[in-house]
Amino acid sequence: MIERARALSTTIAAFALAIGLAGCSTLPDHGATATGGVACLNLRSTVTNLEALRAWCLDHNDAAGAAAWATGIENSLKTAAVGDTAATSRVRAAASRLDEQVRLLSGSDSRSAIAQLPDVITGIVDELKPAGDAVCA
């Protein structure tokens, strides 16, 4: 019972963090506005959120919590409006990879999915950084 309550609270906390980080990234910042605007802030926030999820996964074996967190990040990527065509392609590819990971985390083999998630996130972050550089330039 305690483990179930812990899992539920972890899932809720992860989801709230994902929503909060996505929401905070849309606040105007004068420095960021000069270098790409809201799209720049959103991509930077998404990369930061992915890095936080990667670090969290190393210490937690909670596939449901990771899936909830990844869903929030994926939704943020799906709503990202970037003007650069190559950057848009990278953002869509990252959202697609996250969607695949959410399905794996929610599936029957969630243990191996959570074990592989940090490496997958590293690949997604590596894919998003050039998109962020293009948008924020």
Interval 75-108: pLDDT, tens: 988 887 666 678 888 899 999 999 999 999 999 9
Q: Is residue 32 part of a domain?
A: no
pTM: 0.71
Q: Is residue 22 part of a domain?
A: yes
Query: Could you give the number of structural domains in the chain?
Result: 1
Burial of 126 (0-12, 13-18, 19+ CB in 10 A): exposed
Residue 46 has pLDDT above 70, yes or no: yes
Domain that holds residue 94: 2-27+37-136
Q: Is residue 71 part of a domain?
A: yes
Average pLDDT over residues 108-133: 92
The CA distance from 104 to 63, in Å, is 9
**What's the sign of the alpha-carbon dihedral 133, 76, 53, 102?**
negative
Of the chain, the percentage scoring pLDDT greater than 90 comes to: 45
The pLDDT, as a whole number, for residue 8 is 60
Of the chain, the percentage scoring pLDDT greater than 70 comes to: 71
Average pLDDT over residues 1-22: 59
Q: Domain containing 125 — which CATH number? A: 1.20.120
Q: Is residue 114 part of a domain?
A: yes
The pLDDT, as a whole number, for residue 87 is 84
The pLDDT, as a whole number, for residue 133 is 87
Residue 55 has pLDDT above 80, yes or no: yes
